[in-house]
Structure 1
Amino acid sequence: MLELRLPMSLPPTASSISWRNICFCPRDLRRPSLTVRSEVLRPKLSHQPFHIDGKARGKTSIQSEAAFTRSTVKKQGKFGQNVNLPQKLPKNKKKPYPIPFKKIQERARADKKLAQKGIEKRLEPPKNGLLVPELIPVAYQVLDAWKVLIKGVAQLMQVVPVYGCSICPEVHVGPTGHKIQDCNGPGNAHRRSFHAWVKGSINDVLIPIESYHLYDPFGHRIKHETRFDYDRIPALVELCIQAGVDVPEYPSCRRTTPIRMIGKKVIDRGEFVEEPKPIRSSDSSSLLEELDTFGVQAMQSRPALSDLPRLAEETLEAYENVRRGVRKLMNKYTVKACGYCSEVHVGPWGHNAKLCGAFKHQWRDGKHGWQDATLDEVIPPNYVWHVNDPDGPPLRGALKRFYGKAPAVVELCVQAGAKIPDKYRPMMRLDIVIPDPEEKQLVA
């Protein structure tokens, strides 16, 4: 075989190992073609000394590019540096399933096989109508944090201005409305997509998501003709009631015997208890006002400027506690959401009220397309533009790609003096220096 001896000056050596008596074949000099994936995973050679018998010798180690990247990201922090801004879902498409559709089909086939054999479905609390004892304190904590949250937001809005567009759902937290031309409401062409700002309310910061209150979630479904026989309360409050919170104004069925099901059919609903009449009194009306955002803002007074940072920290902590507790409850208790509109129903199955007016509602006769709900559908974050300097000029559309976003509650608390949580820093893009409009063309 033809051999080619390399000269001593070809490869620069990084170790004390000599290249003498090392031969290569011509075919070994050909570099194989690498794909994009192999380029990323190409090993890197690094030289590290090691000691044998007290003498230092050279050692060549191989470290993959993927491992190097993982270690770099780990050093940067848990939440990374910058993340993409949340995208708005198109109105002419259905929401994606939170659970892969193949898994939903597999579960349905397994339930169907058991039903064909006449075998009862094995149900665990709370799927069988019984309460989960360890989640009852969580439900009470969520309800208490919800009261603190809506009270704190109402007080902060007396100091920090909040604006809402009168034509589209856009919300802005700051001294003046921004000048970003992204209004998609009717007549936006005549206004060149500028927003028509008006004074906002607490419902612009905490978007109200309501649900029907059911005494027995495993009872008969709500029909379109009987929809006015049921009260509408915040979905978060209804979830806490079904998880074990006792509210005299909204009683709930507490079973001692589990329900039994074969497939989708309930063969035994347990003991039947007649629904008691709700108790209405002066104390109950004050309790309902504490749980509902409607009318809370007018009841709150303007806080002192010295108490503003403390109030902002308490409100932000209550917001995180509410989201954390609702996530725990939703891991056990079933919450359904329409795949086309914002309707939410707390219970094992959705209602039959024909109130959906979203995409292709004519094909469904106005019925909702129920699927498992996500946390953001029960507590919408309502992302707004982050104002880095409230005393500076308003945000402009020419510098839109340099701005970040944050949930409206977080932005409100931050402008009131609260410390920015680490989990929201990447989306707020705090490490990006916003250039002047004249310098925008010079930025790569």
Structure 2
Amino acid sequence: MFQGVIQHHQRFDFERVPAVVELCWKAGADPHDESLNTNSWNSENVEGTVHGAESLSPEDLRLIARGTLKAWEILRSGVQKLLMVYPAKVCNHCSEVHVGPSGHKTRLCGLFKFESWHGTHFWKKAEVDDLVSLKVVWYQRPQDPPVLLNEGWEFYGHAPAVVDLCVKAGAVVPSKYLCMMKVQGLSAPV
């Protein structure tokens, strides 16, 4: 499976789309399917959907948090499966992603004065975290002090920001994140 290399002067000849969308297209998703278009999506069909922040009860928040956490896990799992079938590359120096068997030679990487490399991308195999960014935050546990101190950083837990947000809204922590969050771990020595 060979794909022609995109040269620098051809960089505007191709539509740029999010990498996850490109992976889905390669797997056969129809980009013209109106049911997948977020602009035409009818939120009235979703159970538990509420409009406006003033109408959110604690039960509504829990329902939204559970749905968000489930969608997050489905997205990451789906991207992992698609990456096993379709090759994708990410530049080691910038945020450029290429879905396909070969990278491109568009010279968008290292064009600023402070960047020591100038010109082509340094491609490496893309992982799930490259396409669905895993932003990690400190996870404040009940046994932690109200303000986290630098001296106890190795005792504090971490969590993906999405998981932390959903847990604060009432969702149950998926078991695979418990070791990262150190829920039952020791607090920092005083």
What is the TM-score when the length of structure 2 is the normalising length?
0.80
Match of residue 247 from structure 1: 31
In terms of fraction of residues, the more strand-rich structure is 1
Q: List per-residue Cα deviations over 1:318-369 (Å, max 9, x = no partner).
A: 111111111111111111111233321111111111111296413xxx2101
Match of residue 336 from structure 1: 89
Match of residue 311 from structure 1: 64
Q: List per-residue Cα deviations over 1:408-432 (Å, max 9, x = no partner).
A: 1111111111101111111111112
Aligned residues of 2:3 and 2:101 also touching (Cα < 8 A): no
Q: Helix, strand or coil: the match of 1:325? A: helix
Match of residue 233 from structure 1: 17
* 1:370-385 matched pairs, under 5 angstroms: 370-385=123-138
Higher relative contact order (CA 8 A, sep 6+): 2
Q: Helix, strand or coil: the match of 2:37? A: helix
Aligned residues of 1:339 and 1:369 also touching (Cα < 8 A): yes
Letter in 1 for 2:37: L
Q: Does 1:349 align with 2:133?
A: no
Q: Percent identity?
A: 42
2:37 to 251, 275, 287: 287
Q: List per-residue Cα deviations over 1:37-77 (Å, max 9, x = no partner).
A: xxxxxxxxxxxxxxxxxxxxxxxxxxxxxxxxxxxxxxxxx
Match of residue 52 from structure 2: 301
Q: List per-residue Cα deviations over 1:115-140 (Å, max 9, x = no partner).
A: xxxxxxxxxxxxx4xxxxxxxxxxxx
CA distance in 2, matches of 1:379, 1:397: 29
Letter in 2 for 1:304: L
Q: Does 1:223 align with 2:7?
A: yes
CA distance in 1, matches of 2:109, 2:29: 30
* 1:427-442 matched pairs, under 5 angstroms: 427-435=180-188, 440=190
What is the TM-score when the length of structure 1 is the normalising length?
0.36
Q: Helix, strand or coil: the match of 1:402? A: coil
Match of residue 161 from structure 2: 408
Q: Helix, strand or coil: the match of 1:384? A: strand
CA distance in 2, matches of 1:328, 1:359: 34
Alpha-carbon offset, residue 289 of structure 1: 4.8
Aligned residues of 1:327 and 1:375 also touching (Cα < 8 A): yes
Alpha-carbon offset, residue 370 of structure 1: 1.4
* 1:149-298 matched pairs, under 5 angstroms: 219-248=3-32, 287=37, 289=39
Q: Aligned in 2, Cα 1:232/1:410: closer, same or farther, shift over 3 Å?
A: same
Q: Does 1:418 align with 2:171?
A: yes
Q: Helix, strand or coil: the match of 1:247? A: coil
Aligned residues of 1:340 and 1:359 also touching (Cα < 8 A): no
Match of residue 10 from structure 1: none
Q: List per-residue Cα deviations over 1:236-270 (Å, max 9, x = no partner).
A: 01100111001129xxxxxxxxxxxxxxxxxxxxx
Q: Aligned pairs, how many?
A: 174
Q: Does 1:361 align with 2:113?
A: no
Q: Helix, strand or coil: the match of 2:137? A: strand
